[in-house]
Amino acid sequence: MKRRQNLFTFFCYILICTFLSNFQGLSYGQENDEKDVPREQQPVQDRKVGDSLVENLAELPGKLITAPFYFTIELLKLLHVQKIYLRTTDLLTSEDGTRTLRPIFSPGGGGGATFRQRNLLHPGMTFRAHASFANKTRRLVYGDLRDPGLFTKKWGLHLRGFNWRKPTERFYGIGNDAKEEDRTDYLDDETSFEGTILFSPSKETSFGLGFAYSDVAIEDGRDNGQPNLDSLFTPLEVPGFFGEKMWTVTLKFYSDSRNEAGHPRRGAEQYVAMQLSKDRDLGYFKFIVDLRRYFNLFYRRVLAVRVRTEITDDLGNREVPFYRLPGLGGEDLLKGYQSYRFQDDDLAYVSAEYRVPLSPMVNLTLFVEEGRVFQNMLDDFTFSDWHYSYGGGLRFRASNGGLITSFIIAKSDEDTRILFGLNTEIRGF
């Protein structure tokens, strides 16, 4: 109980700080928008006169790196591929951008398409749906309806539902020292429905109170090359061994002051949430903080910094199901490790990413990230035994900002992973 009271106090403190910093970030961004960028801070391709020899030599490595991509893009333009794409999606894509259909791909979710309809019945109402599929019957089918002004100008509703079938999920055990040789395989099939009452005091900020019902089924995995979950672990060691039906109440805060969603150069994203989830035998309390900040440096270079923490506590004599434990590894946290490589009650994660514009449509990214899981972070926090990952890659986008493609190589002490994503950031938080 004392741990939960401390978490609630900490939650209020974080909420106030992020709310105030959001308005500070907004005023800073608006102030910068009103100022002209000095010529010496503009990319060479945007300057109109007077490129010096030194500046041209400094830009030469970037031009050499992007030369193959430049010629490829020019070839695609010559073949009018973009026009062909627009013709094939014309029935579901509008010229004003209120209705869009775009392809999506991620290593964890597979390939598919996402559809978005803005101003569905009236201005502000947005419907979104996407479906993606991969091998071994992996699938994700998702839909949501969001209207922040349904009841009044500031009060609205957000409804969403999904079915996510993951036939080859990995589980290595619980703890920061979980061994790679203890890897097991299981199938996770989850169906969930959630309704959230929204309060939006401004366009960039919203509060939500959500109620969700989820049905999770755990079965033998479909990877024949890996042992199943029950071959190394028992129901006594792993709560939620067979899945469960659970009710969840979530109180959350979100703000977004980025100048754009795809390639932000300044601003911030802030997400804070408290969850209470329970069923007959399982139950937990979870606290989440995810802060992202974007700093616009010289020549439009960007430094992106992220901090995330999750704290989970048992609810009375109920335990946390293993598939709800915070985890490190995968496309989002510690990219150099396999998904959910490390799991435990609490999690801490930090990352920094440096983005260099090689051309108006291509960015070079370099990143480093560290993370650790804890059984009780508030009592046992330490800076030792953190896991790290580093790497880099390229991010592409269409001239209209609609198509976002990433190619990332990530390295850790266990693995080197190549990650390809298509429009993955459109989904946001």
SS3 labels along the chain: CHHHHHHHHHHHHHHHHHHHHHHHHHHHHHHHHCCCCCHHHCCHHHCCCCCCHHHHHHHHHHHHHHHHHHHHHHHHHHCCHHHHHHHHCHHHCCCCCCEEEEEEEECCCEEEEEEEEECCCCCCCEEEEEEEECCCCCEEEEEEEEECCCCCCCEEEEEEEEEEEEEEEEECCCECCCCHHHCEEEEEEEEEEEEEEEECCCCCEEEEEEEEEEEEEEEECCCCCCCEHHHCCCCCCCCCCCEEEEEEEEEEEEEECCCCCCCCCCEEEEEEEEEEEECCCEEEEEEEEEEEEEEECHHHCEEEEEEEEEEEEECCCCECCHHHCCEECCCCCCCCCCCCCEECCEEEEEEEEEEEEEECCEEEEEEEEEEEEECCHHHHCCCCCCEEEEEEEEEEECCCCCCEEEEEEEECCCCEEEEEEECHHHHCC
**pLDDT tens, position by position, 268-295:** 999 999 999 998 889 999 999 999 999 9
Does residue 332 lie in a domain region?
yes
Residue 79, pLDDT score: 44
Which domain covers residue 272, as residue numbers?
Answer: 2-36+80-427
Residue 37, pLDDT score: 46
Residue 32 has pLDDT above 90, yes or no: no
Query: Domains in the chain: how many in total?
Result: 1
Does residue 370 lie in a domain region?
yes
Query: What pTM value is reported for the model?
Result: 0.79
Does residue 71 lie in a domain region?
no
Does residue 62 lie in a domain region?
no
Residue 66 has pLDDT above 90, yes or no: no
Residue 132, pLDDT score: 93
59 band by pLDDT with thresholds 50, 70 and 90: low
Q: Give me the CATH number covering residue 144.
A: 2.40.160.50
| Three-class SS of 313-350 | EECCCCECCHHHCCEECCCCCCCCCCCCCEECCEEEEE
- The predicted model gives 299-327 an average pLDDT of 93
Does residue 70 lie in a domain region?
no
Residue 426, pLDDT score: 46
Residue 303, pLDDT score: 96
Residue 26 has pLDDT above 60, yes or no: no
Residue 17, pLDDT score: 52
Residue 80, pLDDT score: 43
- The predicted model gives 341-365 an average pLDDT of 93
- The predicted model gives 176-203 an average pLDDT of 94
Residue 128, pLDDT score: 93
Does residue 64 lie in a domain region?
no
pLDDT above 70 coverage of the chain, percent: 75
Lowest-pLDDT range of 60-74, 168-182, 208-222: 60-74
- The predicted model gives 61-71 an average pLDDT of 59
User: Which of 116-120, 262-266, 385-389 holds the top average pLDDT?
Assistant: 385-389
**pLDDT tens, position by position, 190-235:** 999 999 999 999 989 999 999 999 999 999 998 888 899 999 998 8
Does residue 63 lie in a domain region?
no
Does residue 66 lie in a domain region?
no
